[in-house]
Amino acid sequence: MLMDKLEVQLGALQRRCIDLKIPVVILFEGLDVSGKGVQISKLVHSMDPRWFQVYPMKQEAEAEAMRPFLWRYWNKLPKDGEISIFDYSWYHAVTSEVFRKKEMEHDPKVLRQEINEFERQIVDGGTCLIKLYLLIEHDEQYARMRALGESKSTSWRVTPEEMRRNEEYDAYTRLVDEVLTETDTEFARWNPIAATDRRYATVKIYQTIIRAIEKQIDEVLKKADQAEKKKKIDTTKIGESILATVDLTKKLEEEEYRKKLNKLQKKIQKLHGQLYRRRIPVIIGFEGWDAGGKGGAIRRLTQKMDPRGYAVHPVAAPTDIEKVHHYLWRFWTKVPKNGHVAVFDRTWYGRVLVERIEGFCTRKEWKRAYREINEMEASFVEEGAIVLKFWLHVDKDEQERRFIERQTTPEKQWKITDEDWRNREKWDEYEVAVNEMIEKTSTPHAPWVIVEGNNKYYARIKVLETVINAIEKRLESEDKK
Amino acid sequence: MLMDKLEVQLGALQRRCIDLKIPVVILFEGLDVSGKGVQISKLVHSMDPRWFQVYPMKQEAEAEAMRPFLWRYWNKLPKDGEISIFDYSWYHAVTSEVFRKKEMEHDPKVLRQEINEFERQIVDGGTCLIKLYLLIEHDEQYARMRALGESKSTSWRVTPEEMRRNEEYDAYTRLVDEVLTETDTEFARWNPIAATDRRYATVKIYQTIIRAIEKQIDEVLKKADQAEKKKKIDTTKIGESILATVDLTKKLEEEEYRKKLNKLQKKIQKLHGQLYRRRIPVIIGFEGWDAGGKGGAIRRLTQKMDPRGYAVHPVAAPTDIEKVHHYLWRFWTKVPKNGHVAVFDRTWYGRVLVERIEGFCTRKEWKRAYREINEMEASFVEEGAIVLKFWLHVDKDEQERRFIERQTTPEKQWKITDEDWRNREKWDEYEVAVNEMIEKTSTPHAPWVIVEGNNKYYARIKVLETVINAIEKRLESEDKK
């Protein structure tokens, strides 16, 4: 009777989540044989199957192993209104895998920190995150394992590794305790579930989830109420502008450019092969004024690289699928495999540039983005990536000259639109945003490089040289190890 | 000089393809060490890197091995305006792999046929498909392999298998000849490229691609000219309607329904486990009148299955990413892994139903779709899948009753929209389309099952029983082997 009521309630709440476009993530973690599988089946019983997906995450595929730790989870985050249920989750790596004391690819301390950052980011982004940990006692665990082991049809379900965790129950649960304590944050609380009694556990799980979703719905409705936000645009004076100090007179003559270009492209071709063999991923972001020369610089950068080892991602307005995900999702899903190069023509910095200026996100959202972006880039670097960001800088006169050239050259007309002229009118607002961006997101591990772009030859060579230097530095430091 | 001209020409053509939204697929196949890698690098040299992607396809990932042969290629088809370059392609499986005489997962004869179908489908869908085969002589191949083998830094590039193919050059090229002859169709011609002289080969490749793209552009422009197509809607009289013969008085009482439901759900739960262990994929499509009971039937079908082993895909209007792909792309990419169940709530038959009725595609396109769909389903079955299609049938009165019930029941109001009423007005047109669909796409390997749906209980049980029977039949026939 109670269960019937809870099922109806959860079914109705799922419908509300769809209407209100709330993405829900439910983690099932727990001790071995605590019954996660059964509980997940009971849970989805009441749900509309078109709007949830269960992900068994115990094993990692090769494509996943070749990318940052959190990549596989970012890929499986729900769209707005959907529910993703994880059977095992990002906690597997910091509990079972640590306990196994196997050669860890990652430092567990760093992973825990990344986990906390990740959870904060998705919760801040509007996800209803529900973390469940199923607990059973030592004796009960032993009894269940024995029962499974006795029947031929179920004995495969208990591995020697699981038996060992039962033998060392105290030590293992101490580790779990420690992890749960450290990741029990104000934005993502843990819900321990006593799972010895299965019926009791089911009720408890339903109640926990119902309460969490109800709370989220309340918050969403409250926010919608206050929604008459004044999209205040920041036009604080430019102050100490980093951009203002850029020396735009730097230039290169054509002959010298051709010579250097040829030499540098050959060099990067060779380095690209070394990156591949050493499995080092490279992430390069390009931002800059319209007509700043991004396209040309990217072309020269990649031209001689082996095309099987790099991809260029043009970033425009988000597609409808991207719109119903966290704003960082579309970049996470494009993280290169180890040994590959990903070049982004415009980047995740759109959040603090165009989205800020045009009011496509709230002030609170873009303010928060600096930290989130720094965290994301740090994750990439932590996994061994080289991360570089270029701001292609030209002055306003040069931009105008190029716009006019584009309009009057038939082959270039496709490059210029009315929107470019409109953006130009907001030059000062952008300058404020760019300065703040560079100030807040230029980190030692992922520095901004401002490229003096009035002279295209100079700019292209600077980009190539910067990338080459970063790769060489990295290869040297690996050699020393 | 010639090359400079060709590069400029190809660069400009790429731009035209972007503007005209033409997807381009270029296959690089060829004998070992014929220089595919070098030629690809030379080719992309002239291209805008934001609009092409090179896919090295020699090795198959695990996720790919678990799905139909063509799945990995469907996944990598270009969006409109993009270029996908395949370094090795679907021909690898019917040449090198056959020659290796390894335990073939697929019958090469069937694969060749599927390849021809696949190529026809994408070409009909507007893709510019260019197939290149690089040839070198026996001696030259030997000399290149020896040169590579002599240097420590390159010797890894020649495998024993490749050496063997050099030793048996005549036998191998005979096989290649045979495959090329059979797949040199009027819609997808082969272009043999003499690749001994690298410079010559580069020129030839550029010229071949330029000619092919120019031809495609011509055709696209010609079609656009004739584009004032009269979207004639077929309202030929219903004639011998299959639907008209359906006995909609069939029903089940609630008590019997509950009993049967419980029993059948338990059964399917068990069968689901067996499918998983035997790695049999299942694809189930649901079509039917609005309010025909698809959602409820799907719910009862999946309710007791292990949620880690199935996914329900609701199919609505295509997203913007789906719109810039072949109409079958979004279904191919959702093909279940071996051992998993995929349920589609509305399906690829939208092409011959709503798209036909609403004029979202041309008459030629939906006429062609019957064959394309049959081919696609045959591919799935060929790979070992069980494919079932349900038409949930109700009569017009019952539909009206349900529409009104939905409008007057608060929890059900989300299920009914103005569009549903509009569709209802086109009942007769749909009936023509449904009859034609069932007639043309009910195949022995993927039959249509018409479900008498006026009584929901009866309908749900029929769906469950049909699925169970199909699975049991399959398991039995496997046991006999």
**pLDDT bucket at A235, cuts 50 / 70 / 90:** very low
Beta bridge partners of A388: A284
Supply the pLDDT for residue A238. Answer: 47
pLDDT for the residue B239: 53
Task: For residue B55, give the 3-state DSSP assignment.
Answer: strand
Collect all residues of chain B within an 8 Å Cβ-Cβ radius of residue A304: 41, 45
- For the cut 50, the answer to whether the pLDDT of residue A296 exceeds it is yes
pLDDT tens digits for B71-85? Answer: 999 999 999 999 999
- Pick from B275, B260, B270: which is nearest to B305 by CA? B270
Residues 6+ apart with CB under 8 A from A479: none
Q: Which residues in chain A have their CB less than 8 angstroms from residue B54's CB?
A: 307-308
Q: Which residue has the higher pLDDT, B129 or B316?
A: B129
Give the list of residues 6+ apart from residue A364 with CB closer than 8 angstroms, or none.
none
Q: For chain A, what percent of residues have pLDDT higher than 70? A: 96
Interface of A with B in 49-78 (CB under 8 A): 49-56, 61-63
Provide the phi-psi class of B52: left if phi over 0, else alpha when psi is between -120 and 50, else beta: beta
B44 touching chain A per CB within 8 A: yes
What is the SS3 assignment for B133?
strand
For chain A, the three-class secondary structure string (H helix, E strand, C coil) is CHHHHHHHHHHHHHHHHHHHCCCEEEEEEECCCCCHHHHHHHHHCCCCHHHEEEEECCCCCHHHHCCCCCHHHHHCCCCCCCEEEEECCCCCCCCHHHHCCCCCCCCHHHHHHHHHHHHHHHHHCCCEEEEEEEECCHHHHHHHHHHHHHCCCCHHHCCHHHHHHHHCHHHHHHHHHHHHHHCCECCECEEEEECCCHHHHHHHHHHHHHHHHHHHHHHHHHHHHCCCCCCCCCCCCCCCCCHHHCCCCCCCCHHHHHHHHHHHHHHHHHHHHHHHHHCCCEEEEEEECCCCCHHHHHHHHHCCCCHHHEEEEECCCCCHHHHCCCCCHHHHCCCCCCCCEEEEECCHHHHHCHHHHCCCCCHHHHHHHHHHHHHHHHHHHHCCCEEEEEEEECCHHHHHHHHHHHHHCHHHHHHCCHHHHHHHHCHHHHHHHHHHHHHHHCCCCCCEEEEECCCHHHHHHHHHHHHHHHHHHHHHHHHHC
Q: Which amino acid is at B405?
A: E
Q: Is B41 within 8 Å of A306 when comparing Cβ atoms? A: yes
Q: CA–CA distance from B70 to each of A72, A232, A304, A341, B388 (Å)? A: 24, 52, 31, 27, 20
Distance of CA A473 to the CA centre of its chain: 26
Chain B neighbors of A323, CB-CB under 8 A: none
User: Coil, helix or strand for B211?
Assistant: helix
The CA-based dihedral angle spanning residues A58, A379, A272, A305, taken in that order and rounded to the nearest 10 degrees? 90
For residues A225 and B118, which has the higher predicted lDDT (pLDDT)? B118
Partners of residue A19 in chain B, C-beta under 8 Å:
414
pLDDT confidence tier of residue B227, bands split at 50, 70 and 90: low
Residue B316 sits at the chain A interface (C-beta within 8 Å): no
d(CA B406, CA B415): 7
The CA distance from A324 to the nearest CA of chain B, in Å, is 12
Nearest to A198 by CA among A14, A25, A37, A53: A37
At B287 the three-state DSSP class reads strand
Percent of chain A with pLDDT over 90: 78
> What does the CA dihedral A420, A424, A428, A429 come to, rounded to 10 degrees?
-30
Return the sign of the alpha-carbon dihedral for residues A284, A65, A122, B415. positive
Looking at the predicted structure, is the pLDDT value of residue A479 above 60?
A: yes
Contact assessment for residue A386 and residue A472, using Cβ atoms and an 8 Å cutoff: no
* A415-424, B58-67, B364-373, range with greatest mean pLDDT: B364-373
Q: Is A324 part of the contact surface with chain B (CB cutoff 8 Å)?
A: no
For a pLDDT cut of 70, what percent of chain B falls above it? 96
**B41–A299 C-beta distance less than 8 A:** no
A19 in reach of chain B (CB within 8 A): yes
Residue A133 has φ and ψ, to the nearest 5°, of -125, 115
Of A127-141, A263-277, B31-45, B409-423, the range with the lowest mean pLDDT is: B409-423
CA-CA distances (angstroms) from residue A49 to A77, A207, B273, B314? 16, 20, 19, 9
Interface test with B, best of A50, A75, A315, A323 (most B CBs within 10 A): A50
Query: What does the pLDDT average to over B52-60?
Result: 88
Residues of chain B with C-beta less than 8 angstroms from the C-beta of A49? 298-299, 302, 307, 310, 312, 343
**A345: chain B residues, CB-CB within 8 Å:** 50
C-alpha torsion A194→A199→A202→A208, nearest 10:
-60
B308 has a chain A CB within 8 A of its CB: yes
The answer, for B304 touching chain A at a CB cutoff of 8 Å, is: yes
CB-closest option in B15, B87, B307 to A41:
B307
Per residue in B162-177, pLDDT tens? 999 999 999 999 999 9
Q: How far apart are CA A384 and CA A281, in angstroms?
A: 7
Residue A59 has pLDDT above 90, yes or no: no
b/e code B274-298 from CB counts within 10 Å (16+ = b): ebbeeebbbbbbbbbbbbbbbbbbb
Please list every residue in chain B whose beta carbon sits closer than 8 Å to the beta carbon of residue A312: 49-50
Q: Which of A308, A312, A323, A330 to mutate to test the interface with B (most CBs of B within 10 A)?
A: A308
Smallest Cα distance from B126 to chain A, Å: 23
Distance set, CA A89 to CA A28, A85, A125, A131 (Å): 7, 9, 19, 10
B417 interfaces chain A, CB cutoff of 8 Å = no
Give chain B positions within 8 Å (CB) of A45: 303-304
3-class SS of residue B114: helix
Q: Does B307 touch chain A (CB under 8 A)?
A: yes
Q: What is the mean pLDDT of chain B?
A: 91
Residues of A in contact with B50 (CB under 8 A): 295, 298, 312-314, 345
Going across the sheet that includes A190-194, the strands are: A52-56, A83-87, A24-30, A128-135, A190-194
Confidence of residue A231 (pLDDT cuts 50, 70, 90): very low
Q: Provide CB contacts within 8 A for B353, sequence distance 6+.
A: B287, B430, B433, B434, B437
Q: Band the pLDDT of A15: cuts 50, 70, 90.
A: very high
Contacts of A415 in chain B (CB under 8 A): none
Q: Do A304 and B12 touch (CB under 8 A)?
A: no
Q: Do A19 and B49 touch (CB under 8 A)?
A: no
Amino acid B335 reads V
Q: Tell me which chain B residue has its CA closest to the CA of residue A46.
A: B303
CA distance B6 to chain A (A): 16
Distance of CA A78 to the CA centre of its chain: 14
* The pTM of the whole model exceeds 0.90: no
**Which positions in chain B touch A87 (Cβ < 8 Å)?**
308
pLDDT for A107: 82
Which residues have C-beta within 8 Å of that of residue B473, sequence separation ≥ 6?
none
From the CA of B417, how many Å to the nearest CA of chain A? 14
Q: State yes or no: pLDDT of A234 exceeds 90.
A: no
Across the interface, whether the CB atoms of A314 and B50 are under 8 A apart is answered yes
Residue of chain A with shortest Cα separation from B308 = A54
B contacts of A20 (beta carbons < 8 Å): none
A341 touches chain B (CB under 8 A): no
Residues of chain B neighbouring A310 (CB-CB closer than 8 A)? 49
Residue B213 confidence (pLDDT): 97
Q: ipTM above 0.95?
A: no
A303 close to B (CB below 8 A):
yes
Secondary structure of B316-333 in HEC code, one letter for each residue: CCCCHHHHCCCCCHHHHC
Q: Does B19 touch chain A (CB under 8 A)?
A: yes
pLDDT digit string (tens) for A172-206?
999 999 999 999 999 999 999 999 999 999 999 99
Q: What's the mean per-residue pLDDT of chain A?
A: 91
- The alpha helices in B47-159, defined as continuous H runs, are 62-65, 71-75, 96-99, 108-124, 138-150
Mean pLDDT of B23-27: 97
User: What are the chain B neighbours of A85 within 8 Å (beta carbons)?
Assistant: 307
A312–B contact, CB cutoff 8 A: yes
**Does position A236 have pLDDT exceeding 70, yes or no?**
no
Residue B266, chain A, CB below 8 Å: the answer is: no
A contacts of B87 (beta carbons < 8 Å): 308
- Looking up tokens 């990536």 gives A385
Among A19, A345, A414, the residue with its CB nearest the CB of B15 is A414
> What does the pLDDT read at residue B456?
96
**Residue reference for tokens 């190529």:** B119
Packing angle of the helix pair A138-150, A169-182 (nearest 10 deg): 120
Which amino acid type is present at position A388? Answer: L
Contacts of A221 (CB under 8 A, 6+ apart): A20
Distance from CA of A310 to the nearest CA of B (A): 9
- Check if B298 contacts A (Cβ < 8 Å): yes
B119 interfaces chain A, CB cutoff of 8 Å? no
Residue B233 pLDDT > 60, yes or no?
no
Per residue in B336-393, pLDDT tens?
A: 999 999 999 999 999 999 999 999 999 999 999 999 999 999 999 988 999 999 999 9
pLDDT at A228: 53
CB-CB: which of A48, A299, A321 is closest to B49? A299
Of A62, A312, A411, the CB nearest to B50: A312
A150: closest CA of chain B, how far (Å): 20
B306, A37: Cβ pair inside 8 Å?
Answer: yes
CB contact under 8 A, A15 and B414: yes
